[in-house]
Amino acid sequence: MADVLCSEQFGSGAARGCRAAPDGSLQWEAWGRRWWGFSGAFTAKPGGRDGGGGVAPGTASPPFSRLLAVFLPQGFPDSVSPDYLPYQLWDSVQAFASSLSGSLATHAVLLGIGVGDAKASVSAATATWLVKDSTGMLGRIVFAWWMGSKMDCNAKQWRLFADILNDIAMFLEIMAPILPFCFTITVCISNLAKCLVGVAGGATRAALTMHQARRNNMADVSAKDGSQETLVNLAGLLVSLLMLPLVSDSPSLSLGCFFFLTALHIYANYRAVRALVIETLNEQRLWLVLRHFLQRGEVLGPTSANQMEPLWTGFWSSVSLSLGAPLHHVTSSVSELQQLVEGHQEPYLLRWDQSRNQVQVVLSQMAGPKAILRAATHGLVLGALRGDGPLPEELEELRNQAQAGPEKESWVVVRETHQVLDKLFPKFLKGLQDAGWSTEKHQLEVDEWRATWLLCPEKKVL
């Protein structure tokens, strides 16, 4: 038999080979034949290229493969992060439960404004609806201004918060007809909560899409996520058409169904968010990894750190860390500025308030991602001096000095930790890179203030 001259494959699907035919033409292996000894995950073969119209060897049948191609990003699974499939599966479960709960809530609101009641006033119902929508619009603007920049840093926690708040909003809508004397206030509060959900959910969805897209394919990942959500909502709509006639006449049964669906919704959301493995460091993940490194000399990988990351409470470490603080808040005299500058050449200045365990970091114009990462690490190390647990020998000595009394000035401890980090941080940074963390970017919350100072020697750019 003639030797294989070449081969081809589509995405991560199995390859097929090509041999020379007796007439000199290329003779391709048929799709579906295991000649290559490799069977990849499903990827549909592009139709019309060879007239075969099949799929890669050992994969799903053509109709099923084409159906999946409608809902999965092109190049799946190689074009998305490894946690894409478990997250999307649980996300679909929560969306289905939320769709059914939403139909119960919508039924209650329509009942409350008088749909089906001949005595109800159209103008009163319209006024209620307009007030409800106006309240939500104003809340959306204020919440986006107040919290918009924080959602990138803690996307998982805000995603979970948004879905729980959505359940609370729907519960208020279901209870609104039972409390007719405060119906308008109840639905306004509910719609306000839903608008906050829209801001938090949309912002965190965008952040998670950036994480999932691995081939600069954010648009494709986002579009396919929309298709999946539409399919789930369509299924929820069909089930709602069957469910509502059965429960609409019984408030207790409606509440029972709502509580069951809410429990399923929260559980599926928790599993979806817990399935995420984000390789960039926010303050909480950095604190978990750093604490493990200081105590055991090892760097946690992204999978372990993401599994340990708190989702319900404890978003941050015990130290209050402010990155990008304004210089005029940190120092008010030349002597204080000299204390902050001397003893190091890093492109940041750090002030530590021991009594409040508060760290303020002033960033230079030259501070890049690695310098910001070191500044955050420096601040968290200072926080560790106020806590318990084993530390490296040089830091243990500093902790004993810092806890001995106020004689040890904070700026002296900061200067000495600069010297410790000169040796410690390169090892930590290399450990992060070897463990699979992305150090070229981060999800630390950094304000926009930058400064320059003339009292320091040659500055170092990271």
Q: Which residue type does 422 have? A: D
CA distance 79 to 212: 8
Q: Return the number of other C-beta atoms located less than 10 Å from residue 58's C-beta.
A: 16
Same domain, 438 and 329: yes
* Whole-number pLDDT of residue 113: 66
Torsion sign over Cα 190, 194, 195, 199: positive
Average pLDDT per consecutive 10 residues, the chain (462 residues; last block may be shorter): 78 80 85 42 38 44 73 90 95 95 87 58 70 83 83 89 93 85 84 90 90 93 94 95 88 91 96 95 94 92 94 67 92 88 89 88 93 95 85 84 68 89 94 94 92 64 46
Q: Are residues 307 and 410 in the same domain?
A: yes
As a whole number of angstroms, the distance between CA 215 and CA 78 comes to 9
* DSSP three-state, residue 84: helix
Cα torsion at 103, 107, 113, 114 (round to 10°)?
150
Q: What tokens does 51 get?
A: 């007239």
DSSP of 122-180, one letter per residue?
Answer: HHHHHHHHHHHHHHHHHHHHHHHHHHGGGTTTTHHHHHHHHHHHHHHHHHHHHHGGG-G
Phi–psi pair at 27, nearest 5 degrees: -115, 110
Q: Are 53 and 62 in contact (CB under 8 A)?
A: yes
Kindly state whether residue 208 falls inside one of the protein's structural domains.
yes
| Domain shared by 288 and 241, yes or no | no
Asked if 225 and 109 sit in the same domain, the reply is yes
By CB atoms closer than 10 A (0-12, 13-18, 19+), residue 332 is exposed
212 and 298 part of one domain = no
Count Cβ atoms below 10 Å from residue 179 Cβ, excluding itself.
Answer: 12
Of 108, 120, 126, which Cα lies nearest the Cα of 176? 108
CB-CB contact of 462 with 347 (8 Å): yes
Assess if residue 349 is contained within a domain. Answer: yes
Same domain? For 335 and 436 the reply is: yes
Angle of CA points 393, 399, 405, to nearest 5°: 145
Q: Pick from 340, 362, 363, 329: which is nearest to 418 by CA?
A: 340
Distances (CA, A) of 190 to 111, 133, 183, 424: 16, 10, 10, 51
Round to whole Å and give the CA distance between 215 and 82. Answer: 13
Cα separation of the two ends of the chain:
59
SS3 451: strand
Q: Is the peptide bond before 63 cis (omega within 30 degrees of 0)?
A: no
| 3 Cβ contact list (under 8 Å, min separation 6) | 19
Q: Which residues contact 317 (CB under 8 A, 6 or more apart)?
A: 283, 284, 287, 380, 383
The pLDDT of residue 360: 94
pLDDT of residue 166: 93
* The total number of structural domains that make up the chain: 2
> Can you point out the beta strands (E) in 271-415?
320-323, 348-353, 358-363
Domain membership flag for residue 13:
no
Tokens of 384: 């560790």
d(CA 185, CA 7): 67
Q: What is the pLDDT of residue 275?
A: 96
Task: Note whether residue 28 is domain-resident.
Answer: no
How many other CB atoms are found less than 10 A from the CB of residue 153?
20
Do 441 and 306 belong to one domain? yes
Residue 408 lies in a domain: yes
Q: Give the pLDDT score at 53.
A: 40
- Strand 4-8: give its sheet, edge to edge: 4-8, 16-20, 26-28
Structure-token pair, residue 327: 């210089």
Report how far residue 12's alpha carbon sits from residue 28's, in angstroms, rounded to the nearest whole number.
Answer: 19
Predicted pLDDT at 32: 56
Same domain, 244 and 307: no
CB atoms within 10 A of CB 19: 14
Residues 247 and 335 in one domain: no
Position 31 scores a pLDDT of 67
Among residues 275, 305, 339, the one where a domain terminates is 275
Residue range(s) defining the domain that contains residue 187: 82-275
Does the residue 247 lie in any domain?
yes
Inter-axis angle of helices 283-296 and 410-435, nearest 10? 90
Residue 289 sits in the same domain as residue 425? yes
Alpha-carbon distance of 236 to 265, in angstroms, equals 13
CATH number of the domain within which 142 lies: 1.20.1250.20
- Domain assignment present for residue 17? The answer is no
Q: Which of 205, 240, 275 is the last residue of a domain?
A: 275
The tokens of 108 are what? 């209650």
- Verify that 262 and 295 share a domain, yes or no: no
Domain boundary at 275, 294, 312, which?
Answer: 275
- Please report, as a single letter, which amino acid is at residue 218: M
- In this structure, the answer to whether residues 271 and 301 fall within a common structural domain is no
